[in-house]
Amino acid sequence: MLKISDLKAKVADTEKEILRGLDLVVNEGEVHAIMGPNGSGKSTLSKILAGHPDYEVTGGTVNLDVNFRARNLLEMEPEERARNGVFLAYQYPVEIPGVSNAEFLRASFNAICKAQGADEMDPLEFDDFLKTKLKFLDMSESFINRAVNVDFSGGEKKRNEILQMAVLKPRLAILDETDSGLDVDSLRIVSEGVNKLRSKDNAIVLITHYQRILNHIVPDHVHVLYKGKIIKSGDKTLALEIEENGYDRIIREHNQA
């Protein structure tokens, strides 16, 4: 579904390269965890996949299968990526004062429906639809009328991202440090939500610093990102190894090779 080849990128208007030849293939139904120490380029990767204007791609390709044909993701505007099933759950969800969750999500849902040729929903229809999603994720109906992320606790913000994911049903969801800043209970609730949304048709890329979220969302593949490259890949046991020995040993092995 997603094929990243030799991706190189930097922060726009700077010289420092952050991604230095990254390769990754993600297929339908898979969950990939991307782990790495601070500064390895994890968040940069997620921002680039979503099309953030602060980053500039300097080399390589990213292809996304759309209707069984590979399309160049990097040429698409951020909204076009979303309309083609790409979703980024933010590490720091943004506050939108005065705009209710329902208004925001309906605008988003309808924009995507319209692009995909599906019927749009009116406000009443959408509220009912939103309620079923809130129930599915065991979230309070108060989320409907609250302004997007305004005065939300850290945990509520992350749950709100997962609510958006449930509403928009992306084919490719990138979760950027969704576990950061969550207490044990919030982590469990958010993870359960993500697990409910896993299916054989969609794929999830989980970006994380720590192994603990992987106890809840069990990955098919684990990759270690270091200095803008994937230096080691494996199955879920790789995450446990990192938990036990830290990144140092893997980095040492990599440097010796």
Partner 1 sequence: MTTQDNKPLTSNDVQLTNREYKYGFVTNVEVEEFPKGLNEDIIRRLSAVKNEPEFVLEFRLKAYRHWLTMTEPKWAHVAYNDIDYQDLRYYSAPKKKGDGPKSLDEVDKEILDTFNRLGIPLAEQKRLTGVAVDAVFDSVSVGTTHQDVLKEHGVIFCSISEAIREHPELVKKYMGSVVPYKDNYFAALNSAVFTDGSFVYIPKGVRCPLDLSTYFRINAAETGQFERTLIIADEGSFVSYLEGCTAPMRDENQLHAAVVELVAQENAEIKYSTVQNWYAGDKDGVGGIYNFVTKRGICAGAKSKISWTQVETGSAVTWKYPSVILKGDDSVGEFYSVALTNNKMQADTGTKMIHIGRNTRSRIVSKGISADESINSYRGQVKILPSAEGARNHSQCDSLLVGSNCAANTFPYIEVKNKTATVEHEATTSKISAEQVFYLKSRGIDEEGAISLLLNGFCKEVFKELPLEFSVEAVRLLEMKLEGSVG
Q: Which residues bind partner 1 (CB under 8 A)?
A: 50-53, 77-79, 81-83, 88, 90, 92-99, 103-104, 107-108, 111-112, 115, 147, 164, 168
Question: In the complex, what is the shortest distance from the CB of residue 107 to partner 1, in angstroms, rounded to a whole number?
Answer: 5
3-state secondary structure the chain: CEEEEEEEEEECCCCCEEEEEEEEEECCCCEEEEECCCCCCHHHHHHHHHCCCCEEEEEEEEEEEECCEEEEHHHCCHHHHHHCCEEEECCCCCCCCCCEHHHHHHHHHHHHHHHCCCCCCCHHHHHHHHHHHHHHCCCCHHHCCCECCCCCCHHHHHHHHHHHHHHHCCCEEEEECCCCCCCHHHHHHHHHHHHHHCCCCCEEEEEECCCHHHHCCCCCEEEEEECCEEEEEECHHHHHHHHHHCCHHHHHHHHHC
Question: At its nearest, how many Å lie between partner 1 and the CB of residue 98?
Answer: 3
* CB closer to partner 1, 70 vs 115: 115
Question: Which residue lies nearer to partner 1 by CB, 30 or 161?
Answer: 161
Q: How far is the CB of 10 from partner 1 (least distance, A)?
A: 18
Q: Is the CB of 104 or the CB of 210 nearer to partner 1?
A: 104
For the CB of residue 49, give the shortest distance to partner 1 in the complex, in Å: 10
Pick 99 or 240: Cβ nearer partner 1? 99
CB of 11 to partner 1, least distance (A): 13
Show the CA angle centred on residue 250, arms to residues 216 and 23, nearest 5°. Answer: 75
Kind of pairing between the strands at 172-176 and 86-89 = parallel
Is the Cα torsion angle 113, 199, 92, 143 positive or negative in sign?
Answer: positive
Measured from the CB of residue 134, what is the shortest distance to partner 1 in angstroms? 18
Minimum CB distance to partner 1, residue 48 (Å): 12
Q: d(Cα 186, Cα 67) in Å, to the nearest integer?
A: 36
The nearer residue to partner 1, 75 or 77, going by C-beta atoms, is 77
| Nearest to partner 1 of 29, 154 (CB atom) | 154
